[in-house]
């Protein structure tokens, strides 16, 4: 039996596989979570970590899953519906942002196009660390705008720019928030310039400062006629909070259809040459091989995996691996969808059927990236120095 003191390091290393966190935030978070657990909870974690849960891959639980409060103490899932909606919208927008990242000069589909560098889930809001240049494409898919009386983007989404981060929140549900870490004012301005070039001026919904504009009539009408974002929002929120699972591949994206289906795809194995990034002359690291089985094993883990009552693989074929989350009365993931099963499909990005992404044209993306680079590289504004009278010399 492992020593009791080894529980925190084991849980920390396991959580890192889901979030990509560094020790500075990881160790205090896990230590604080373990301290809130009882002696019986810690004994259960020791038993779970020392048990081979391979039977879960076949839909069987040889051991009962840990209580909800244990999972929430170690990797909390969003429980507020508005927070789940916001995180689901960010997940789907990140998938569309990959298309713009592929077209960043020099445009190349065989290049790193990761969106999230690290995720830090908390009980309420969550913190996202983005890769360089991602903010513009992400905002282009998220920011609401009115086109022909209809609202695209995320209705009610607003932003507050702080000194070192940006807060995205819902003006009608202000408790739902996501922090984008390490965003400067210059990066924010460059991102808004990118958005203006891609989607045009946002009009009434343009960001004019940290004083939020109330819901417009078009936004209110949209929220009364459709959901804020498609798909199973609780499941999508759980996937975003475990986005570090895919941090070693060159890109990944997710999309939803209806209210119960979500698809996640990534290049499982790519043999590609070393690619030089636009920020440095050093070659980018070779992409890691992330198989469907590895992702399924992580997402089905009893402690850190996606929430639900024993999610199970339904079938594995040429189109990928399909997981289902059985309906359960106490499962927040099924809020509002009755007895339907949630369906999560994992697949290789080489499958070309059913791709819902219509990427931007090279010409549009090229102009947007040029504007982004111009604003980002502009010199800091300086004021003319006041004229001062010459100092009197020794002869005066």
Cα–Cα dist 331/307, whole Å: 8
Cα–Cα dist 124/324, whole Å: 26
Tell me if the pTM is above 0.75. yes
Are 340 and 260 in contact, with CB atoms under 8 Å apart?
Answer: yes
Residue pLDDT, tens place only, 302-351: 899 988 766 777 766 666 788 887 754 444 444 444 445 788 888 877 65
* 3-state helix/strand/coil string of the chain: CCCHHHHHHHHHHHHHHHHCCCHHHHHHHHHHHHHCCCHHHHHHHHHHHCCCCHHHHHCCCCCCCCCHHHHHHHCCCCCCHHHHHHHHHHHHHHHHHHHHHHCCCCCCCCCCCCCEEEEEECCCCEEEEECCCCHHHHHHHHCCEEECCEEECCCCEEEEECCCEEEEEECCEEEEEEEEECCCHHHHHHHHHHHHHHHCCCHHHCCCCCCCCCCCHHHHHHHHHCCCCCCCHHHHHHHHCCHHHHCCCCCCEEEEECCCEEEEEECCCCCCCCCECCCCCCECCCCCCCCHHHHHHHHCCCCCCCCCCCCEEEEEECCEEEEEECCCCCCHHHCCCCCCCEEEEEEECCCCCCCCCCCCCHHHHHHHHHHHHHHHHCCCCCCCCCCCCCCCCCCC
pLDDT at 333: 46
Residues of the chain with pLDDT below 70 are: 1-5, 54-55, 57-60, 107-110, 202-204, 208, 269-288, 309-310, 315-319, 327-340, 350-364, 381-391, 393-396
Cα–Cα dist 169/120, whole Å: 17
Residue pLDDT, tens place only, 86-115: 999 999 999 999 988 888 877 666 677 889
pLDDT at 198: 85
pLDDT at 272: 42
pLDDT at 23: 93
Q: Where are the domains of the chain?
A: 4-74, 81-348
pLDDT at 110: 67
Cα–Cα dist 157/231, whole Å: 18
């Amino acid at each position: 039996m492992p020593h009791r003191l080894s529980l925190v390091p084991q849980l920390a290393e396991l959580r890192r596989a889901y979030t990509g966190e560094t020790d500075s935030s990881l160790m205090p978070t896990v230590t604080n979570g373990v301290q809130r657990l009882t002696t019986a909870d810690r004994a259960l974690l020791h038993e779970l970590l020392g048990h081979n849960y391979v039977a879960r891959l076949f839909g069987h639980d040889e051991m009962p899953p840990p209580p909800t409060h244990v999972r929430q103490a170690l990797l909390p899932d969003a429980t507020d519906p508005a927070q789940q909606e916001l995180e689901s919208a960010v997940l789907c927008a990140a998938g569309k942002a990959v298309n713009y990242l592929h077209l960043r000069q020099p445009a190349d589909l065989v290049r790193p196009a990761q969106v999230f560098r690290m995720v830090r889930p908390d009980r309420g809001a969550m913190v996202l660390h983005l890769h360089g240049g991602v903010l513009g494409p992400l905002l282009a898919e998220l920011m609401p705008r009115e086109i022909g009386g209809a609202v695209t983007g995320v209705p009610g989404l607003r932003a507050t720019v702080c000194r070192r981060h940006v807060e995205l929140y819902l003006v009608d549900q202000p408790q739902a928030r996501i922090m984008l870490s390490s965003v400067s004012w210059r990066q924010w301005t460059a991102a808004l310039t990118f958005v203006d070039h891609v989607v045009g001026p946002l009009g009434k919904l343009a960001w004019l400062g940290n004083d939020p504009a109330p819901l417009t009539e078009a936004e209110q009408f949209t929220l009364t006629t459709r959901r804020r974002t498609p798909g199973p929002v609780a499941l999508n929120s759980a996937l975003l909070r475990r986005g570090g699972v895919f941090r070693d591949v060159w890109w990944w994206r997710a999309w939803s259809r209806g209210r119960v289906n979500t698809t996640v795809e990534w290049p499982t194995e790519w043999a590609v040459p070393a690619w030089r990034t636009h920020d440095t002359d050093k070659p980018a690291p070779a992409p890691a091989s992330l198989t469907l089985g590895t992702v399924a094993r992580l997402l089905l883990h009893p402690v850190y995996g996606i929430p639900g009552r024993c999610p199970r693989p339904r079938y594995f074929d040429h189109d990928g691996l399909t997981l289902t989350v059985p309906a359960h009365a106490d499962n927040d993931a099924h809020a509002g969808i009755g007895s339907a099963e949630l369906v999560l499909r994992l697949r290789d990005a080489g499958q070309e059927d059913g791709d819902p992404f219509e990427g931007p044209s090279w010409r549009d993306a090229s102009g947007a990236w040029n504007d982004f680079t111009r604003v980002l590289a502009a010199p800091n504004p300086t004021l003319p120095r006041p004229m001062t009278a010459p100092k009197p010399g020794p002869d005066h």
